[in-house]
Structure formats: structure tokens, C-alpha cells
Structure 1
């Protein structure tokens, strides 16, 4: 399986992160998700899932920052389109990102905490890790699930995994 995200000058385009225009933000949070192209999904896949995390956040924030969790995309999806997180154009179940945490402001608006949360590196360019999984099942997860629940749910069901490092500027 292969995934592709178009970059601009080697970086995630600004409209998907810290420098997003106001119309792509809610309460100062970038909420417009980037498009993801998907190829060579293995036979037998029933759904696709993704996790978008920032391991570079550990030295500045103390933990890996979760920016987007989503599962139960149709296995035949070859494009998760721009703004899919907010538009609902492609059906999926989305988990909680790190913005709900008391360490990140305890936000409660589901449009912020249960959708895509764009990169916002505070100190320098960060490399964000996108992982897309082809699964042999639909996950029994409710909207707002957490990364630990996601990791347990996919155990033993991953047919293929593709990852990309997506840099985003401070």
C-alpha cells in the first residue's frame, strides 16, 4: 500500500496548519484536513484507518501530540479529500485529538477535539507522522475514541500500513 500527500516546497501547505487562513480555523485551531491519495490497498481490506501524530512534540510538550484519528473509511477509497474531517464527504468515525487534554486547554468543542487538528509547531519545523492502515474489519469504536483504544482495536487486523513524514513549519 502507498499513500501520497502533496507538499509545497517540501512542507505541508500552510492552509492545513499553524498558518491557515481564518476561514480554515475554529477558535484559532486549523481544522481543514489535507487530501490523502491511497494506492495498492490489499485484497481483503474492508476499511481504512489513519493516525496523524507529532513525535517532535515530546521535547516541547512532554508527550506525542495526536492531530487526527479516523477509522472505517471505505476500503475502496483512493482519495480522502481535502477537508474530509469536517465535511463528512467520506464516511468515517473520528477519534479525539490532543486538544481535549487539560495539558492543551481542555477544549470541549467537538469540531476541534473530535476532528483534524492542524499542526502548530511552537519552536521549529516538526515532522508529523501520517500512518494509514488497511484493515480486515470495521472497527467498533465510537466517535471520540482515544489513541490507546484505536491501537487495541487494530491489533491483529492490519493487512497493510503506509506511513509518511510530513514537515510543517513553525
Structure 2
């Protein structure tokens, strides 16, 4: 399985999907970037994805989850998918007790990269699944990982860079 995301000539995620986006909610970028998905195993019935900033660890003490989504159709993921998707999306790190974010939308949808101090690398992982995940909207990452067990056909990562 292969995934691809558009990047600028300098290799960064275009500004409209990150901290320089003109479209934000509660200060967070909400326009999710398009994802091209190819070479999906034939027996795949659903996709799932995670977008995690491991470069946040030195600053926050933990990886920062920016987006979780489950039970996606087996096709390319269009720009701004998160805002229109009616399936389950998980809680991101803005829902943590370490942040004061109380906007229900922001904590349970795509919240784009906002590197505070230097460029960060964001790991996008797309998962090919045999069947739908038994998660409801606003699920947590541990539930997501549990649901991958005995359901995963393939997965692939793509590192997305965002500038500060």
C-alpha cells in the first residue's frame, strides 16, 4: 500500500492545512489535506488513519495526536475530508487535561499542524482493514489500537513536514 500527500517545493505541507491556514476554528487549522491511496490490498473493506507529531515529545512530554479517523471508504481521501465525514473520528491531544481547549469540534476532528518552535515531522499512517472498527465518534487512541488487532491487512506511513 502507498500513500502520498501534496507538499510544497520546499517539502512542507501547504500552509492552508497548517498553522498559516486562513480557515481555523478556535485557533486551529481545520482543512484536512488530501491523501492519495494506492496499491490497497484487494480484500480491504475500510481504511483508517492517524496523524501524530512525535517531534512534540521534547516540548510536551508525549506525542501529539492531530487526527484519528476510522471506517473510511476505500478510495483517495479528499481535501477537507474531516469536516464532512459522518463516520467516527477520534479525540486528538487538544482533548487532554493538559490543554484548555473546550471546543468539542476541535478536539474530535482534524486539528492541523501548529509547530511552535521549529519545523516538525508528522507521521500519517493509513491502515487497510478487513472490516469496520467497532468505535463510536470521539473514540480514544487506545480504543483505535485495540480495534486494529485481528483486523489489519496492511499499513503504511508518510512523513508530512510542517514549518514553524
| Smaller-chain TM-score bracket | over 0.9
Q: Are 1:110 and 2:109 an aligned pair?
A: no
Structure 1 length-normalised TM: 0.93
After TM superposition, which residue ranges in structure 1, 4 or more long, deviate above 6 angstroms? none
Cα shift at 1:74: 1.5
* 1:94 corresponding residue in structure 2: 89
For 2:62 and 2:99, the matched residues in 1 are separated by 11
CA distance in 1, matches of 2:45, 2:102: 32
Which residue is equivalent to 1:149?
143
Match for 1:84 among 76, 81, 85? 81
Name the Cα RMSD after superposition.
1.0
TM-score by length of 2: 0.96
Q: Structure 1: where are the runs of 5+ without partners?
A: none
Unaligned runs of 5+ in 2: none
Deviation digits for residues 19-69 of structure 1 (CA, Å, limit 9, x no counterpart): 111xx1011111110000100110111100000000000000111000000
Separation in 1 of the partners of 2:84 and 2:71?
Answer: 16
Rounded to whole Å, the distance in 2 between the matches of 1:119 and 1:137 is 30
- Equivalences, count: 163
Asked if structure 1 preserves the Cα contact closer than 8 Å seen for 2:17 and 2:31, the reply is: yes
